[in-house]
Every structure is written in C-alpha cells, then in structure tokens.
Amino acid sequence: MKHAESVTFGGSGLDRAAHLRGDVTALMSETTSRTIVLWRGKPLVEGEGRERLVRLAMDHPALADARGAPIFLGMEEGGACFATDLSAWEPDAFDKAALEGFFDPSEQQHPDLNAGQVFCELRGVMTRLDARGAELAATARALMLWHRSHRFCARCGAESVMAMAGWQRDCPSCGAPHFPRTDPVVIMLITHGNSVLMGRSPGWPEGMYSLLAGFVEPGETLEAAVRREVFEEAGVRVGEVGYLASQPWAFPASLMFGCRGEALGREIKVDPAEIEDAIWVSREEMMAAFAGAHPVLKPARKGAIAHFLLRNWLADRLD
C-alpha cells in the first residue's frame, strides 16, 4: 500500500540509535539533549490546538518530580531525545475516574512549566501532532506502561531493574533479561461487492462502528488470524487475505496489522460474547458517515488505523 506509513504513529524517520543504549550517561549531560515528558501516559504538549510535543532541557526544574531514569528514544537533528515519566507528581485536583476511563478530556498544568504547556490525553491530540511528535509520544507511552506493569521477573518473581536506557529490564536475582512487549493485532477491511463489514463492541457511543479486529494467537499467521477472528465474531467466512499497513498503538502496547479480505458470503451470525453487532455498510453509506450526513452511523475515530483504511478504501487507494 503506497500510503501505508502516512498512518498516525507511522514512521517519521527517527534514528533510534540502538547502539547507544548501553551507556547514555554522556548524552544526558549534553546541552543539546532534550526530553519529552509524560504524566500517567499523557504527553506534554503546547500550542493553541495542542499540536506541538514539548521538549525540555535535561535540567529543567519540573524534572525534579521524575519517576525513575529517563528513557532514551533516539537521535533527532538537534541532539539526543529522551522521555521522562512525571507520574509521581500529584496535581492539586484531578478526576481519577476520568483518568482511568477510555478517554480523559482533562488537562494538567505543572507549576514549573510555562502557561500553555499541559498534559493531554494522547488519543485527543494524536492527529494534531506532526509525525515525529506522534512517534515519540507513542513510543514513550508504550515503554512507560511496560515498565509499570512488568516490574517483577517472570522467571523468579524478584523485582527487576531498568537497563539499556529503558529498552530492557534485568533481574538481579536470576539474571534473566526482559524486553518490551508488543501484542500483534489484526484489524481487517472485509468487503463483499460494494460493502464493508463493520462491528461494534458493547458500551461504545451510539452509532459508533469500526472494522473487526482481534489478537493474533501463538502459532498463527496474520491471514489465519483474519479468517478466524471474522468468523468468530460475525460468522462470516473469508477467502483471500492481503496485508495493507501497520500502526503502533500504545493503548497499551499493540501493533495493528491492517489487512483486507474478501468475504465469501454476506450472512452474519454475531457471537454476543465477542461483539454487540455487525452490519454490512455500502460505500455510499460510508461516504455519508464520513461527511457527518448519515442518520445513524458515525465514522471510525480519526487517527485510528480503521479510519485510515476506510478512508483509503473510499478513495480507491488500497494498492
């Protein structure tokens, strides 16, 4: 697919400089080095539309509230780029329930930062950031969540420690190394004639449908996962399957493999344990949904690969 890497969080050409991860002490002291900052998964951004990812000097006063050592993300044109977790800081007041929900619209302002520099939900700003900012924010978020959820060695249970500038955890008890987890997920544009198969999960906003998706199981190819997931969720058999594009999805740590498939029939039999509903949507109906003119159907969320694939399907740009 020619436009594959223009998907949100797609490649920005960042030099991840993996060969430097063994010792970044000198880089952290360089005056040209900068760090992006996250608070409980929310990146620090600025601008009227919250469209710029903030990069701070490594000795900025706000970093006194940092939790753990910074993570080395790579080399930018101006110097090294790190990510710092400021989650130990407690704002005077914030809605903890909203923070733990699907989407938190609130913003947080640290007292040592400039006015207009705020922590925002990544889902809310992901389409406004430039490609580099989006890649840095998604990478940092995924790594920080992995460190938070994988503190203990899976082999012996002892607490592990950060290593390789944040790209590894080592167990001081048994010596086992542990590496960041990424879960492969297939998300599929299943078509039959002029229509595409859409589904919805329980609890989604009214009118919200998206492409079917599911985790790839051990010992399974992407093609097999597409066919299995579509049949399990909607009872539809799929024939030919092809790969289109991928998207790193740091909610919390998935790699979405966008695929296309041709349905062998239109009969739907929903498994209520998997999804709430599945429908066939014609190209004309989908165009109306994207234009905000459909009486019921809402388009997939902007920034998600489902929206990207559907938009390119409508424009006949899948090749």
Confidence (pTM): 0.93
Q: Is the peptide bond before 252 cis (omega within 30 degrees of 0)?
A: yes
Query: Domain locations in the chain?
Result: 4-149, 150-180, 183-314
**How sure is the predictor about 291, in pLDDT bands with cuts at 50, 70 and 90?**
very high
pLDDT of residue 101: 65
CATH superfamily, domain at 183-314? Nucleoside Triphosphate Pyrophosphohydrolase (3.90.79.10)
**How sure is the predictor about 20, in pLDDT bands with cuts at 50, 70 and 90?**
very high
Q: pLDDT per residue over 79-98, tens digit each?
A: 999 999 999 999 987 777 66
Q: Which of 100-104, 132-136, 173-177, 187-191 has the lowest mean pLDDT?
A: 100-104
Average pLDDT in the chain: 95
* 104-121: average pLDDT: 94
pLDDT of residue 263: 98
In which region does residue 194 sit, left (phi positive, over 0), alpha (psi from -120 to 50) or beta (all else)?
alpha
* % of the chain beyond a pLDDT of 90: 90
pLDDT of residue 67: 84
> Residues with Cβ < 8 Å from 71, sequence gap 6 or more?
82, 83, 84, 85, 140, 143, 144, 165, 166, 167
Q: pLDDT per residue over 29-44, tens digit each?
A: 999 999 999 999 999 9
